[in-house]
């Protein structure tokens, strides 16, 4: 009887240990999160808060849209820059595919120096899914066999805060329309919008095999804060970051610009100056990314840009060729040299902007006509560029062992990360 009792006690103890093990492991992982310094500064302040919970959801086809009621914009909560509704979209991937793509859309920026940004969620997953019928959509296109992420689960985050998904401030910024006065309120709640999106991601896809965090243009700058926040939600998953036509490059000849920007949008506290005092000293955010790579061994970075990107270089960063080109190649080289197995580059010649959505398949003259006709409706702030040529992943470059590869082939190799078919950098001026 005693032996039987002892056996029961031992079995009960074993079962209790097994049941408690996930919590113990989770506690250990959380205790060792690599970005604790920026969490302590407030980056996670809205995680789990009722402020970032969706107020309703709707379904159209295979896309679920999470809505955030803007009726009380004077209070806190996710909202677009001019007080309209913010949304987050989700689309399930192919059955059995456990990869998760979190996509941060682009759409300019709104600052004291320059304000040109999408103030409503114009570029939606519904639009991108529909545009797949004419070959657009890029990494969001579920029917393009060239797209290595076509079967992924997707959380799509429209961009409408004008603060690159980092802002946490309501302030006065003119919307460019003098007829309604110049005292226009800008709700730059990018951090709340981003946190709301990650709440949806964690709710719908709590245990992905890995997370691909991709951002294009303004969304590419958003990945700087988003990488740390995604790590908080997914402490033990591989994070693959794809930065398209944005970070780490800012202004080479105005080294204080990045500090001013982050101060204006109330995000300067998320620069880890205690452990990285010169993180933004050279005018770029390269050292912040390097700081993150040092602390988090389970994320990799792909950086894509056109060597003379006119939208980022000429228009937003006041850095025409060769200033932008030299900075982009130099800063990317710093990261790729320091982390040759974890950082890869796809840099091709030209002045076009972005790759990931395949907008470049539309002829330039149609792109220019669309901007001319609808630019003032799409953007809030200054007059849009008259010429804004966009790129696509079908563009080719020559990699460092002499192969001609397009963006899809290169991105597929980067995602696979295979020693048998490695991703080789493309750096063409």
Q: Tell which wins on pLDDT, 392 or 122.
A: 392
In this structure, how many other beta carbons lie within 10 angstroms of the beta carbon of residue 185?
Answer: 15
Which of the four pLDDT bands, split at 50, 70 and 90, describes residue 28? very low
Strand partners, 186: 171
Mean pLDDT of 367-384: 53
What's the pLDDT at 22? 42
pLDDT for res 421: 92
Q: What is the pLDDT of residue 5?
A: 38
| Domain range list for the chain | 1-32, 35-427
Q: What are phi and psi of 424, to 5 degrees?
A: -110, 135
Which is higher by pLDDT, 18 or 341? 341
Percent of the chain with pLDDT over 90: 76
Q: Is the peptide bond before 322 cis (omega within 30 degrees of 0)?
A: yes
CB under 8 A, 24+ apart: contacts of 63-70: 63/89, 63/90, 63/91, 63/125, 63/126, 63/129, 64/89, 64/90, 64/91, 64/204, 65/89, 65/126, 66/90, 66/196, 66/200, 68/196
Q: Which residues fall within 8 angstroms of residue 62, CB to CB, at 6 or more apart?
A: 91, 92
Burial 48-65 (b: 16+ CB within 10 A, else e): eeebbebeeeeeeeebbb
In the chain, % of residues over pLDDT 70: 84
The whole-number pLDDT of residue 370 equals 55
Average pLDDT over residues 268-292: 98
pLDDT above 60: residue 208? yes
CATH number for the domain formed by residue range(s) 35-427: 3.40.50.1820
How does residue 310 score in pLDDT terms, banded at 50, 70 and 90? very high
What is the Cβ-side half-sphere exposure of residue 383, based on CA atoms within 13 angstroms? 4
d(CA 90, CA 405): 31
CB 341: neighbour CB atoms within 10 A?
Answer: 11
For residue 361, what pLDDT is reported? 87
Q: In angstroms, rounded to a whole number, what is the distance separating the alpha carbons of residues 293 and 287?
A: 10
What is the three-class DSSP state of 11? helix
> Residue 201 and residue 217: Cα distance in Å, rounded?
22
pLDDT digits (tens, 9 = 90+) for 216-267: 999 999 999 999 999 999 999 999 999 999 999 999 999 999 999 999 999 9
Sequence-distant (≥ 6) Cβ neighbours of residue 193 within 8 angstroms:
78, 79, 86, 157, 160, 161, 165
Rg (CA), the chain: 22
Helices (H) and strands (E) in the chain, counts: 10, 17
Average pLDDT (130-157) is 95
pLDDT at 414 over 90: yes
The answer, as to whether pTM is greater than 0.85, is: yes
Residue-level pLDDT at 70:
81
HSE-CB of 355 using CA atoms within 13 angstroms: 30
- Residue 149's CB: how many other CB atoms inside 10 A? 26
Arithmetic mean of pLDDT over the chain? 88
Q: What is the pLDDT of residue 30?
A: 44
Q: Between β-strands 63-68 and 86-91, what pairing exists: parallel, antiparallel or unpaired?
A: antiparallel
């Amino acid at each position: 009887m005693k032996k039987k009792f002892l056996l029961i006690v031992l079995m009960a103890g074993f079962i209790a240990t097994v049941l408690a093990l996930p919590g113990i492991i989770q506690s250990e992982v959380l205790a060792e999160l690599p970005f604790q310094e920026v969490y302590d500064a407030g980056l996670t302040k809205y995680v789990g808060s009722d402020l970032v919970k969706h107020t309703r959801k709707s379904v159209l086809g295979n896309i679920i849209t999470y809505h955030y009621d803007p009726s009380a914009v004077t209070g806190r909560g996710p909202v677009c820059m001019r007080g309209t509704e913010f949304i987050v979209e989700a689309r399930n991937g192919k059955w059995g595919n456990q990869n998760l793509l979190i996509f941060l859309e682009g759409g300019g920026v709104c600052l004291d120096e320059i304000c040109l940004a999408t103030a409503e969620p114009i570029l939606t997953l519904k639009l991108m899914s529909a545009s797949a019928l004419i070959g657009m959509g890029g990494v969001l296109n579920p029917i393009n066999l060239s797209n290595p992420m076509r079967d992924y689960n997707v959380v799509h985050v429209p961009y409408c805060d004008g603060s690159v998904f980092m802002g946490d401030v309501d302030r006065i910024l003119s919307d460019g329309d003098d007829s309604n006065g110049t005292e226009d309120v800008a709700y730059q709640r990018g951090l709340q919008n981003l946190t709301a999106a990650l709440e949806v991601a964690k709710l719908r896809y709590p245990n992905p095999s890995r997370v691909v965090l991709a951002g294009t243009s303004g969304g590419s700058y958003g990945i700087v804060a988003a990488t740390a926040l995604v790590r908080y939600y997914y402490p033990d998953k591989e994070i693959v970051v794809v930065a398209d036509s944005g970070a780490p490059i800012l202004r080479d000849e105005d080294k204080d610009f990045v500090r001013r920007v982050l101060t204006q949008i109330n995000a300067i506290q998320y620069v880890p100056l205690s452990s990285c005092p010169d993180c933004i000293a050279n005018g770029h955010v390269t050292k912040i990314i390097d700081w993150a790579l040092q602390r988090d061994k389970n994320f990799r970075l792909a950086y894509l840009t056109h060597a003379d990107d006119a939208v980022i270089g000429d228009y937003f960063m006041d850095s025409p060729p060769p200033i932008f080109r030299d900075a982009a190649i130099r800063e990317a080289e710093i990261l790729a040299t320091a982390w040759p197995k974890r950082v890869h580059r796809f840099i091709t010649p030209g002045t076009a902007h972005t790759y990931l959505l395949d907008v470049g398949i539309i002829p330039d003259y149609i792109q220019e006509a669309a901007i001319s006709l609808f630019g003032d409706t799409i953007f809030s702030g200054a007059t849009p560029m008259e010429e804004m040529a966009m790129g696509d992943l079908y563009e080719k470059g020559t990699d460092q062992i002499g192969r001609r590869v397009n963006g899809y082939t290169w991105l597929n190799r980067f995602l696979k990360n295979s020693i048998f078919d490695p991703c080789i950098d493309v750096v063409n001026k």
